[in-house]
A and B are shown apart, each in its own frame.
Chain A
Amino acid sequence: MLYFINNYCNIMYYSSLAAIRRAFPPSDKKGFHMPRDASTEKPLVELVNVTKIYPPDVVAAEDVSLRIYKGEILFLTGTSGAGKTTLIKLICCLETPTRGLIEVAGRNLSRISSAGVQRMRQKIGVAYQDFRLLDKQTVLQNIAMAMEVTYASPKLIRFRVEELLELLNLSDKRDKLAGELSRGEQQRVALARAAANGPSLLLADEPTGNLDPVATELVINLFRYLNERNGTTIVVATHDESIYADTEYRVMSLSKGQLSAHPSRAPHQIELFEA
């Protein structure tokens, strides 16, 4: 049985890689596993002593400082209610911090205009934990929407959507209404929408929560590919230990709103983080 799954995964992996290559032609921006030189490089996302308190007194993030560098993949882990979603929402301006500073691509989010926020969101792909799909529209329309707001050409939209669907094994669902899909399928549609614009930052909130091992593998491959070929910076919030258990990427752990390097990680990562 395991052998079968493994074999199937491999087939899916190779056929999907071809699709990825077509969808996202390689660029010179190469991804990397670890921040190259944390002391000199400007981070893509920087949180400085960020605290978020939901009224009346729920502390969802407490004094969080975090730097996310261009081209890295970061896993944010933590138990339910630890504050993972809150952190992601803070980065994409869906929530404002109670205290502290957040910078994305060098811009202070507390001083950004609403037009600026919208422009920024076009470059950040977010796969929400609750998907935020339009149930009464088709899978195709849902994904295309993300590209339409950037006035992409219909040809490019069509092409990207087809490739992403193939990639996530959803091709036969293209014209189905999003509301009629299973949770796992919806989850992949949400991810496809987040990746559609070829964003420079991809925030995935619990992207594998409803997926079987095969689909999980597809998603991880998509991340890896986007990261290595396009240099996409990816933040994955998850409590699915299987996807970060033996990863070479950075893993941070949240607990009751407090951030720390994941206990299973080597100490040098802690240094890097604190540098």
Chain B
Amino acid sequence: MRFLAYILRQTGKNLRQTWGTQIMTLLTVTLSVLIFAFFFLIYTNMIRASERLGNDVRLIVYLDQEVPEQMRPEFEKKIRDFAPVEKIVFVSRTEAFAKLSAQLGKEKDVLNDLGPDFLPPSIEVYPLKTLNDLTKISQFSDFLLTLPHAAKVQSGSDWLRRFGYFTNLLRVVVLLSAGLLIISMTFIISYTLRLTVLSRQGELEVLRLLGATSAYIRLPLLLEGMLQGLLGSSLGLAALYSLYQWIANRFSGPGFLKLFDITFFPPEITAGILLTSIVLCTAGSLFSIRRFIRI
């Protein structure tokens, strides 16, 4: 118990003696956690969003002519021969019109002048979940375009492709900021500890003469790194959380952002980031201790 009190007191002494540097270090740790967590948050949300999008991949083949009832099985067979499909829905002009006016609800008056024939007939193809590859989807949509009377195929694959590029880019950014996190934490912490050690060189020397154990000398320094990791990452995550709250409040409600319905990290990821920072900072201090203290 008294041992702990002494270690804590010694740690406090260290922090006080180099408080200017300590604050700079804390800010650096905070900032790097913030940067990393920010990109990581976007990344995880992107992944979730693309999973959701992938779930309702649907190819719509617009036709310039209705497919008569008796021709439908033939169409279905052609499509199923090319790729496994979950279901195929034929939409006639009237059905398309009914669907649209149902979607418009009260506003459906605008359709009055247009007449029930203005929408083209179409075939909605729902591929199996296994068809999640962008190239396969685009091959499929190229094939669908060869069907008789097909005028245009809307697959959303262009869009998905861009989304995929973006996710890949983000992955690189996340990895880069993780690297930044590791480097800044270990290096900054070990650099700060070096300063602590140097500023207390004389004292450490005398402590050694007086028979201070290595725990008495090292533990406070280790604790210093740990504390920096804990405080820095807590601050960084808190900053990110308030940023998230701000964005969520600002852009809440229906609209295009509904797609990016952002959610914050689940508790286990938050805890993981905290823990990783603590481990990294402790490793940084350990590195410094091993290098600069010979006892």
Nearest chain B CB to A56's CB is how many angstroms away? 24
Of the residues A119, A134, A193, contact of B203 by C-beta under 8 Å? A134
Determine whether B89 belongs to the interface, using a CB cutoff of 8 Å to chain A.
Answer: no
In the complex, per-residue mask of B201-220: 1 if CB is within 8 Å of any chain A CB, else 0: 01101111111111010000
Residue contact A149 to B2, C-beta cutoff 8 Å:
no
CA–CA, A151 and B216, complex, Å: 9
B182-214 with Cβ < 8 A to chain A: 202-203, 205-214
Q: Point out the residues of chain B lying under 8 angstroms from A220, CB to CB.
A: none
In the complex, per-residue mask of A149-192: 1 if CB is within 8 Å of any chain B CB, else 0: 11101000000000000000000000000000000000000000
With A120-B211, A121-B211 known as contacts, the answer to whether A151 contacts B206 (CB < 8 A) is no
Residue contact B214 to A126, C-beta cutoff 8 Å:
no
Determine whether A146 belongs to the interface, using a CB cutoff of 8 Å to chain B.
Answer: yes
Q: Point out the residues of chain A lying under 8 angstroms from B203, CB to CB.
A: 134, 137
Residue contact A148 to B213, C-beta cutoff 8 Å:
no
Residue contact A134 to B211, C-beta cutoff 8 Å:
no
Determine whether B6 belongs to the interface, using a CB cutoff of 8 Å to chain A.
Answer: yes
Task: Describe B's contact surface by its main secondary structure.
Answer: helix
* Closest A residue, CB atoms, query B212: A149
Nearest chain A CB to B211's CB is how many angstroms away? 3
CA–CA, A132 and B205, complex, Å: 9
Determine whether B295 belongs to the interface, using a CB cutoff of 8 Å to chain A.
Answer: yes
Residue contact A149 to B207, C-beta cutoff 8 Å:
yes
With A149-B216, A151-B3 known as contacts, the answer to whether A126 contacts B209 (CB < 8 A) is yes
Q: Point out the residues of chain B lying under 8 angstroms from A264, CB to CB.
A: none
CA–CA, A145 and B207, complex, Å: 8
Of the residues A114, A115, A149, contact of B210 by C-beta under 8 Å? A149
Determine whether A7 belongs to the interface, using a CB cutoff of 8 Å to chain B.
Answer: no
With A132-B206, A134-B202 known as contacts, the answer to whether A153 contacts B2 (CB < 8 A) is yes
Q: Point out the residues of chain A lying under 8 angstroms from B211, CB to CB.
A: 118-124, 149-150
B109-127 with Cβ < 8 A to chain A: none
Of the residues B3, B206, B213, contact of A145 by C-beta under 8 Å? B206
CA–CA, A94 and B211, complex, Å: 11
Q: Point out the residues of chain A lying under 8 angstroms from B210, CB to CB.
A: 121-122, 145-146, 149, 193
- Determine which residue in A120, A123, A149, A150 has the highest number of CB atoms from chain B within 10 A of its CB, and name it: A149
Of the residues B2, B6, B207, B213, contact of A115 by C-beta under 8 Å? B213
B13-58 with Cβ < 8 A to chain A: none
CA–CA, A114 and B212, complex, Å: 11
Of the residues A132, A149, A193, contact of B213 by C-beta under 8 Å? A149
Q: Point out the residues of chain A lying under 8 angstroms from B205, CB to CB.
A: 132
CA–CA, A134 and B204, complex, Å: 10
Nearest chain A CB to B197's CB is how many angstroms away? 15
* Closest B residue, CB atoms, query A149: B212
Nearest chain B CB to A199's CB is how many angstroms away? 10
* Closest A residue, CB atoms, query B208: A118
Which residues on A are within 8 Å of B, measured CB to CB? 94, 114-115, 118-124, 126, 128, 132-134, 137, 145-146, 148-151, 153, 193
Which residues on B are within 8 Å of A, measured CB to CB? 2-3, 6, 202-203, 205-214, 216, 295
16 new A-B contacts, CB < 8 A, other than A118-B212, A118-B213, A151-B6, are A94-B209, A118-B295, A119-B211, A119-B213, A121-B209, A121-B211, A122-B211, A126-B209, A133-B206, A145-B207, A149-B207, A149-B212, A149-B213, A149-B216, A153-B2, A193-B210
Q: List 18 A-B contacts (CB under 8 A).
A: A115-B214, A118-B211, A118-B212, A118-B214, A119-B211, A120-B211, A121-B209, A121-B210, A122-B210, A126-B209, A134-B202, A134-B206, A145-B206, A146-B210, A149-B212, A149-B213, A151-B6, A193-B210
